[in-house]
Structure 1
Amino acid sequence: MRLDHVRRLGGPNAYLSRPVAIAHLDLQGLTGHETTDHPGFAERLVAALPGLSSHHCAAGRPGGLLDAMARGTYFGHVTEHVTLELSGLIGREAFFGRTVLAGGPGRYDVVLECPRDEPPGSPVVERLVGVALRVVTGALTGPPPDTAAELAEIAALYEAERLGVSTAALAAAARRRGVPVRRVGDLNLLRLGYGRHRRMVWAAMTDATAAIGMEIAGDKRLAHRLLADAGLPVPDGRVAASPAEALEALRDIGAPVVVKPVAGHQGEGVHIELTEPPEVVAAFTEAAGGAGGGPKGDADGAAVIVESYVPGRDYRVLVVGGRVAAAAELTAARVVGDGAATVAELVERVNADPARGEGHDRPLTRLVLGPAELGLLARQGHRPGTVPAAGETVWLRRNANLSTGGTSRDVTAEVHPEAAALCVRAAGTVGMDVCGIDLRLPDIAAPLPAEPGAAGILEVNAAPGLRMHLAPHEGGGRDVAGDIIDLLYPDGTPSRVPIVSVTGTNGKTTTVRMIAHMLEVDGRRTGMTSTEGVYVGRRLVHLSDASGPRSAEMVLGDRTVEAAVLETARGGIVRRGLGYDRADVAVVTNVTSDHLGVDGTESLDDLVDIKALVAEKVRRGGRVVLNAEDPASAGMAERAAVRDRDPAVRFFALSPDAPVLAAHLRDGGAGYCVEHGWLTEASGDRRTRVLPVEEIAGAFGGHAAHVVANALAAVAAARGGGSDGRPGGGSGVA
């Protein structure tokens, strides 16, 4: 078998409302073969991948694939299931698959679900299909090849390019609230909402996060100064640009002290509770040359902060929109002895927890035995090969950061009002809408201590990590991502603008231009895509054949757009899917036999299935406008996926006697036709004149029937209750 190519459909498509990848396979020598033609194949394959035994296949129950292979199935179908199984083995959730004929004998398209936010250029699925082909062909004659090493490489690649924990939680929270989400490339940057309601988040930083606040949070000296000026408790500190200055700070402040980089992050280069001059000098050297850096001092290196050590417990408090959203008590990286295992073995045991991963890709970070950890071990009288006593706690780090292997315990319900007010004031002082406050207190559940130095705000963090609150090591998780989305979209705030999507064989561009004109006259700044280009507010902003998903995304990402009218052509649907998740109004002008033989489109029915996606992807209670005089268009009203959305179906026809329109009106529906020289809205026996036919531009007094039909479709789309973009709004757009 051979993999010819893989293409991605990033938006809703004919197979799934979520992204899919389509792998085009040539079965070559296995063309016409079935699994039963190769004795022992199924047994060898399942022995190598036991998870295949639980695949449902068409049977809709575990074991369905096994039954299919026992009866005899083709090898494209088997490759589909093996790819999905391999995807699951690397932790990549994908459950939907389908294999369809794609041209001549032995040619198949294997359709595979992709995670929603997987980067469009990701090679992961292509590599998984490649491994699947080798596994399947290997099982024909013997045990499949060992692919563990390659799967490990693919897993690492997938982990590196997937959204971080915080950003993934924000994406999920937005979708739960009905807010459209698009990942920008392979970044942890999300575009939320459409048009004038579009917002952006980058991890826990929003597009409303003040740049000045970010700068302040990134400069520990300045942050401490502003907090102190506001009367908030901060440790007494000095900036040292040399070991001599660090020792002078130790003498002035008094032991114990903390040494850390001026602009450090994630706990790197932080040394806690130092009392002796040699410790301070060594800590200065590492902090000055390690992570963070900072302004340069003398020849000895970058400046560091030496500050008083605040005793107590470590806490991280998340402030969102001027209120405490969550709080966690943090504990530094450690292992607990059992009297038998060495420190190194205990570290391996802790790292076996699937919740621990590299960097920030899991709720917890793996423990390491690096220089900092080995130094602290030595000060406790241990080495990696030492066997700690049963119950003995061996510390690997002193700083309680998740990034260095620490753990968290949710204490949100315990936060005393005085501590909450302290954190809210701190966030307001630096001007942050979303802020993480690191502080040390004897107990966050108690009133703030009155004695100086007994409590202190250690840091103010911009773009704070959310994983300690989402999935704490102890206690229940908090929906802090939802709190951030609610800050961007308070209750009742829309995240969408009205969208009209127009497809069909003829008349799309004219219909789109008519609808956009009506919306502009109605006072809405309208974004429009068509084969003539992208327009915003009647101004051409991008000259191209703009009838595909990229152009739709261009319009929906424009914060000046108040309504969108999108020409949605066959080619874009087939090659990339839709550029939006759902529309308020869908228009199908007609469907005729164009582009047959292109992109696997072999018949009129194939074209109908493609273009019907536009009618199927309207919001519940939206509007679907269909041509009553075109059987292919009119028939879409009976498709199950259309009826499931319960739209207001509006037929249009040049003649009021068109059978489909007449029957629709008799059943109490509404439609649009030409009567007595007028474009007319009909509902039962009621008639409302809209516009004289002779006034339609380009219709030559009504002689250009196709232009009149386009005008009817446009009026049908625009007439009705106004929609402000909120789910459940009116079914019309003007």
Structure 2
Amino acid sequence: MTRIRHLLTFSGPSPFAPKPVVVADVTLPGNDSKEAELLRAGCTRLHEAFPEWLPEAPAPDLALQEIVGTSLVQWALGALNEVRGFLFESGFAAKPDGAILWMAYHVPSVSMRALDLALNVLSDAGRSPDFSRADTEERLSAFWLLCRHNHPDFQARILMLGARSGNIPVMPFLQGTKYWQFGWGSRSRIFFESMSNSDGAIGMQFSKSKPLAKAVFTSLGFPTPPFRLVGNLHELAGAAAATGWPCVVKPYAKGKGKGVTAGIGNMTELQAAYIHARKYSDESVMVESFVPGDDYRLMVFDGKFLGALRRDPPAVTGDGINTVRQLISILNRDRTANIVKSRYLCPVPLDEALEFQLAQQGMGLDSIPEADRRIILRSNANISTGGSGTDVTERVHPDVRMMAETVAKNFGIACAGLDYITEDIERSWREGGALIEANTTPGIDGLIAAGQDALKITSRLLGELPGRIPFHLVVVDDAAIEPIWQSLKGMRFPETTGWACGSEAAVGSMRLQPVKEGAWTGIHALLRNQLVDTIIAVCCVGDIMRNGLPVDMVDRVSLCGDLSIIDEWMQVFEEHSGSIEKLTEWAEWERQYGI
């Protein structure tokens, strides 16, 4: 029975790959068996159904191990990267009765699931002459839901692109969350999407509350439309009298355009918009004066203007033949779960907000609009709900740039997105236009979708801080770990030096209590600690061979004593260190480096 079996999980460099990988093996039938013939046919059909994941057709004269090994790891890597994956390492090695497989991971169990799914799909393809991509749709959808919950969100992925280019290490700050750490120790920065730990708490409070944000705009002397908060239908008439017609209704503290209705022209529409907004918020609803013009997102990072995007709501144009539903399906055709292939354009969701907007235009999903009639699908232009953007960075008036920088600076937000409406972005805000709200996760994907260079943007967002700190790895015999730990406890380290031995760790004179489950948890605790500017890690040979190196690159490796290290692992040390020294015993390291 052909199956995949998990062997090892490396959390760092190993003889298999320079990054973390899971290692598994697959047992295969003899070359001349009927099952082998089916597997060969399955590999060919898999290539035909997924040419973007398996770019080269398998050569018929290759050994079964090579054909199956290549197909499994290429298909699994393609499936992992289709939804939010940012993985590169994979491979296989033939063995007499099968193959050894290795696969990069964000979460080990998800990558193992990908290999299992690859074999499952390959087996089905071998048994079915009519196999097609559609046969995998249900299984892939379930798998991609798993990826969506466990892989980096697409904004973190964009930052990872810049980190990879700049050789900046990346690690989860909290496992199983969207908090990612870029850099080590004192040279690290934590991001949640594009929001970082550089953002001030007060600015976060301002941005979460639309009324507070508008009060800040006003206090700084910048324009924002008047508004009223209403708690029931009876208060709508007074709010409309104060704001005038047309007006806008939005939930008190909801983001991404949820529950927003713009261009409301009478009391009937206002009541419907209020009821719609209350579905997204238990708090008061905001009624705001309508500002004519286009919707712009002004981006500021570390107090400097980064770029501007004109945001357009999703729309379809009638042809007199297709229904609105069909036209949306055509629009969404190239907006897939793979956000990179979709150029960061999101599908337009068929939801209540869309149906509400259609009703405002006298349309429904099954209506057939006449030729050339433009149907607006949402009242908001958010990229996350299907909107699109145009880069207008070079056209923004200097006064508008300065306004954006001033607001972001006073909010105390490192990465800020300000929503601004004007009829002409090339005019000063003094000549018309108004600030609407502020965002701490402004969506850097929008600028990339509009054509800006991703690496240029991510280098600005990551800034100068994220990078590496000195890391010294000391490798000892397994039996030496406990006496060396006792020796280390008697040394005096600088208060910013992190030091680890086996599963123990400390910063200067402060002992830590790292969780003992998993590989290198003590070292990971030091890497996350922003007080730490140097790390000394003592690791035994056995732990390294079971788990891989604790990090992808160290400054110096000290090999202490007569260690049994095979050539493949010596090569790993050589490729992932600045230098290697061989010492006769631990005491020699103490004399040379002990503090």
TMscore range, shorter length: 0.7 to 0.9
1:99 to 93, 98, 115: 93
Q: Counterparts of 1:344 and 1:141 in 2: how far apart (Å)?
A: 37
**TM-score scaled to structure 2, two decimals?**
0.88
* 1:170 counterpart = 2:159: yes
**TM-score scaled to structure 1, two decimals?**
0.72
Contact 1:204/1:464 (<8 A) preserved: yes
1:204 to 189, 194, 207: 194
Determine the structure 2 residue equivalent to 1:630: none
Q: Which residues in structure 2 correspond to 1:664-703 (within 5 Å)?
A: none
* 1:623 counterpart = 2:579: yes
Matched residue type, 1:125: S
2:252 to 250, 262, 273: 262
Report the alpha carbon displacement of residue 108 of structure 1 after superposing the two structures with TM: 5.1
Higher relative contact order (CA 8 A, sep 6+): 2
Determine the structure 2 residue equivalent to 1:464: 442
C-alpha change, 1:140 and 1:392, in structure 2 (3 Å) is closer
C-alpha change, 1:378 and 1:530, in structure 2 (3 Å) is closer
Q: Which residues in structure 2 correspond to 1:166-565 (within 5 Å)?
A: 166-183=155-172, 184-288=174-278, 290-294=279-283, 303-354=284-335, 363-450=344-431, 454-472=432-450, 479-486=456-463, 489=464, 495-505=467-477, 509=481, 520=493, 523=494, 525-531=496-502, 533-542=504-513, 549-565=520-536
Q: Counterparts of 1:359 and 1:95 in 2: how far apart (Å)?
A: 19
Report the alpha carbon displacement of residue 266 of structure 1 after superposing the two structures with TM: 0.6
* 1:580 counterpart = 2:542: no
Q: Counterparts of 2:51 and 2:461 in 1: how far apart (Å)?
A: 42
- SS in structure 2 at match of 1:305: strand
C-alpha change, 1:143 and 1:193, in structure 2 (3 Å) is same
Q: Counterparts of 1:449 and 1:88 in 2: how far apart (Å)?
A: 51
Matched residue type, 1:66: A
Q: Counterparts of 1:52 and 1:404 in 2: how far apart (Å)?
A: 28
Number of equivalenced pairs: 585
* 1:47 counterpart = 2:48: no
Report the alpha carbon displacement of residue 38 of structure 1 after superposing the two structures with TM: 4.3
Q: Counterparts of 2:326 and 2:426 in 1: how far apart (Å)?
A: 36
In percent, how many aligned pairs have the same letter?
A: 24
Q: Counterparts of 2:247 and 2:413 in 1: how far apart (Å)?
A: 28
Q: Counterparts of 1:352 and 1:62 in 2: how far apart (Å)?
A: 26
Which has the higher mean CA deviation after the structures are superposed, 154-163 or 547-556?
A: 547-556
Q: Counterparts of 2:443 and 2:524 in 1: how far apart (Å)?
A: 29
Determine the structure 2 residue equivalent to 1:72: 63
Q: Counterparts of 1:579 and 1:558 in 2: how far apart (Å)?
A: 16
Per-residue CA distance 1:333-371 (angstroms, 9 max, x = gap): 111223432221110001001467799997122113333
C-alpha change, 1:218 and 1:170, in structure 2 (3 Å) is same
Report the alpha carbon displacement of residue 316 of structure 1 after superposing the two structures with TM: 0.3
Contact 1:234/1:457 (<8 A) preserved: yes
C-alpha change, 1:544 and 1:513, in structure 2 (3 Å) is farther
- SS in structure 2 at match of 1:172: helix
Determine the structure 2 residue equivalent to 1:710: 586
Report the alpha carbon displacement of residue 578 of structure 1 after superposing the two structures with TM: 2.2
Instruction: Report the aligned-residue RMSD.
Output: 3.4
Which has the higher mean CA deviation after the structures are superposed, 358-367 or 456-465?
A: 358-367
Q: Which residues in structure 2 correspond to 1:120-139 (within 5 Å)?
A: 120=108, 123-137=109-123
Report the alpha carbon displacement of residue 424 of structure 1 after superposing the two structures with TM: 1.5
C-alpha change, 1:480 and 1:21, in structure 2 (3 Å) is same
Report the alpha carbon displacement of residue 439 of structure 1 after superposing the two structures with TM: 0.7
Per-residue CA distance 1:425-458 (angstroms, 9 max, x = gap): 22233232221100101111223343xxx31101
C-alpha change, 1:616 and 1:712, in structure 2 (3 Å) is farther
Report the alpha carbon displacement of residue 210 of structure 1 after superposing the two structures with TM: 0.7
- SS in structure 2 at match of 1:365: coil
Contact 2:53/2:74 (<8 A) preserved: no
Contact 1:531/1:546 (<8 A) preserved: no
Report the alpha carbon displacement of residue 269 of structure 1 after superposing the two structures with TM: 0.9
C-alpha change, 1:357 and 1:345, in structure 2 (3 Å) is farther
Alignment gaps of 5+ in structure 1: 295-302, 594-603, 628-705, 720-733
Determine the structure 1 residue equivalent to 2:22: 21
Which has the higher mean CA deviation after the structures are superposed, 130-139 or 347-356?
A: 130-139
C-alpha change, 1:71 and 1:412, in structure 2 (3 Å) is closer
Which protein is bigger by CA-based radius of gyration? 1
Q: Counterparts of 1:360 and 1:133 in 2: how far apart (Å)?
A: 25
Report the alpha carbon displacement of residue 239 of structure 1 after superposing the two structures with TM: 1.1
C-alpha change, 1:516 and 1:337, in structure 2 (3 Å) is farther
Q: Counterparts of 1:261 and 1:55 in 2: how far apart (Å)?
A: 43
- SS in structure 2 at match of 1:542: coil
Matched residue type, 1:47: R
* 1:112 counterpart = 2:103: yes
- SS in structure 1 at match of 2:372: coil
- SS in structure 2 at match of 1:4: strand
Which has the higher mean CA deviation after the structures are superposed, 458-467 or 42-51?
A: 42-51
- SS in structure 1 at match of 2:549: coil
Q: Counterparts of 1:591 and 1:111 in 2: how far apart (Å)?
A: 31
- SS in structure 2 at match of 1:74: helix
- SS in structure 2 at match of 1:226: helix
- SS in structure 1 at match of 2:6: strand
Which has the higher mean CA deviation after the structures are superposed, 533-542 or 546-555?
A: 546-555
Which has the higher mean CA deviation after the structures are superposed, 454-463 or 502-511?
A: 502-511
Contact 1:97/1:112 (<8 A) preserved: yes
Per-residue CA distance 1:364-384 (angstroms, 9 max, x = gap): 221133333223323323332
Per-residue CA distance 1:152-211 (angstroms, 9 max, x = gap): 221232233221121111222233223221023122111122222232111111112111
- SS in structure 2 at match of 1:278: helix
Q: Counterparts of 1:6 and 1:262 in 2: how far apart (Å)?
A: 52
Matched residue type, 2:456: D
Contact 2:207/2:440 (<8 A) preserved: yes
Alignment gaps of 5+ in structure 2: none
C-alpha change, 1:251 and 1:478, in structure 2 (3 Å) is farther
Q: Counterparts of 1:5 and 1:324 in 2: how far apart (Å)?
A: 49
Q: Counterparts of 2:352 and 2:226 in 1: how far apart (Å)?
A: 28
